[in-house]
Amino acid sequence: MHDELKSKLTQLKQAIGNIDTLDDESRALLQQLDQDIKTVLTGEPADVSLNDRLEQQAVEFDSEHPKTSAVIRDIMDMLARMGI
């Protein structure tokens, strides 16, 4: 499961890098989410707001960046299956 999640994180980074219109705030939030997920993968407890922040970003990307939104939702599903 961790390898799949790492793969999705790589996909997310690539998707973010391909978005020219991403504002600095959204880019910073996504980078923080990436770091938070990597922290969880090391065995540290998850930040209680992690899922809420992932959901918020997915919703924001739904209309303009549906592929990125789908990757975020895949990450959310994987974290849920891991009990996070």
Token pair for 79: 């974290």
How many domains, in total, are found in the chain? Answer: 1
Which pLDDT value is given to residue 73?
93
More confident residue, 20 or 54: 54
The Cα 8–Cα 75 span in angstroms is 7
Which pLDDT value is given to residue 51?
86
Over the stretch 35-83, which tens digit does the pLDDT of each residue have? 888 888 888 887 878 888 889 889 988 888 898 899 999 999 998 898 8
Which pLDDT value is given to residue 1?
67
Give the pLDDT band of residue 13 (cuts 50, 70, 90).
Answer: confident
pTM score: 0.83
- Host domain of residue 32: 2-81
